[in-house]
Structure 1
Amino acid sequence: MQAGQGIVWGDEMKLGLRGQVRPVWAPRGVAVSQAVQIGWKYIYVAVAINPLTGRLWWAWQQNMKGEEMARIWGIWAKEPAIDGWVWDGARGHTGEDMQTVDAPQVVQPPYAPELNPVERFFRELRRAVEGRVYPTLQAKQDALQPVLEAWQADPKRVRQLCGWGWIRDALEALPTNTQVA
């Protein structure tokens, strides 16, 4: 395996019935209106991306409690293709439950989306589903699921979006015989 090949970046995105108005193109002078949904139901999508290979993992997450997060990330930690995590220092990632996830962890500063390529991926997901009104949270999930599956089936596209130069350079510079205790 190539150096850094099994390092993944991860995060979670809130998906809810509180809609967002998205920018749209329109001829000059034409008033554009969009329906905006206001609801207070949420679910989360957990995503892990390997920027070198373009491999993507995702799962629906019911809440942001440590127990639920550790359940998903713990399953992924058993994947042979995952050697370690990079994620932000949000409270959910640094809590007691997440410390039980058996994989080396690198914690980046919280609220620094420019350091996490998964945030760029979330922008693409939002572009696919926002700006429309959904009758239920399940309908919004159903709209997002094929988008997630399409990205998962296209590692080259994920690599192009998330394989930033500084990440590739850093991971490829790691020694191949690194052992984490």
Structure 2
Amino acid sequence: MLFLKRFSELRADFADEAILFHDELRAGTRTELGCKWTPMGHRPLAPVRIGYENTYLYLTLCPFSGQGYAAFLPHLNSEQFGWFVEQVQACVGPKSLFIADGATAHRIDLFDERKLIFERLPAACPELNPVERFFKEVRKQLKNKVFDCLQDAQSRIQVIVEGLFAEEGKVISLTCFPYLKNTTLLI
């Protein structure tokens, strides 16, 4: 509840288009299994590959406008995160709010405070991050898929992400949570 109160205070200082949420999606050559329908008495068959190659999709999006910034990077660490933040800072307006979880890679010293103001989400509260809802849609389309190499996985994820952003209003309908729209009710 403290974050919601803090968010409502912060929201007064920023335009809706200047509020950004961030998270990373780990994906790779390991098959993510999902539910499959089969006739009663038959075992569901699904191709599986136990792979150990991973990539990270870094994604920052604005739930109010549906605009996003994304990149595939090989690791989740402060160096890679710092590079990504630089790219986002180059694209955003004069002052934006950047909200992310408390991962150790998310360091405040990587931000130019004149461009991006960094705010952490509370620990163990992924339900407050709208990017998690976006990733749920991505993962849904990756279920039971086998990728022979990391490039295949990245290509498929890129197609999914581009499709979600291309669909009119899809990102906003997925990510603009009621608590974001109705912050005035929290004060």
Question: Normalised by the shorter chain, which TM-score bucket?
Answer: 0.7 to 0.9
CA distance in 2, matches of 1:87, 1:72: 13
Q: Of the candidates 143, 147, 172, which is equivalent to residue 159 of structure 1?
A: 172
Match of 1:66 among 74, 78, 81: 78
Q: Which residue of 1 aligns with 2:9?
A: none
Question: Quick check: 45-54 or 72-81, which moved more?
Answer: 72-81
> Are positions 1:91 and 2:104 aligned together?
yes
Q: TM-score, normalised by structure 1?
A: 0.84
C-alpha separation between the residues in 2 aligned to 1:109 and 1:155? 31
Conserved 8 A contact 2:61-2:68: yes
Q: In the alignment, which of 12, 15, 20 is matched to residue 24 of structure 2?
A: 12
What amino acid sits opposite 1:125 in the alignment? V
How big is the shift at 1:162?
0.4
CA distance in 2, matches of 1:22, 1:83: 38
Q: Kindly tell me the number of residue pairs found equivalent between the two proteins.
A: 168
* Over 3 Å off, 4+ runs: none
Task: Work out the CA distance in 2 between the residues paired with 1:26 and 1:120.
Answer: 28
CA apart distance, 1:122: 0.7
Match of 1:131 in 2: 144
Aligned-residue Cα RMSD (Å) equals 1.9
- Cα contact 2:28–2:147 (8 A) shared by 1: no
The 3-state SS of whatever aligns with 1:124 is helix
**Amino acid of the residue matched to residue 22 of structure 2?**
G
SS in 2 for 1:84: strand
Counterparts of 1:31-180 in structure 2 under 5 Å?
31-81=43-93, 83-94=96-107, 98-102=108-112, 103-154=116-167, 156-170=169-183
TM-score (norm 2): 0.82
CA distance in 1, matches of 2:38, 2:180: 37
Is the deviation greater in 140-149 or in 74-83?
74-83
Aligned-partner residue type, residue 116 of structure 1:
N
SS of alignment partner, residue 57 of structure 1: strand
Instruction: State the distance in 1 between where 2:22 and 2:58 align.
Output: 7
Aligned to 1:27: 39
- Secondary structure, counterpart of 1:91 in structure 2: coil
- Distance between the aligned counterparts of 1:55 and 1:27, measured in 2? 42
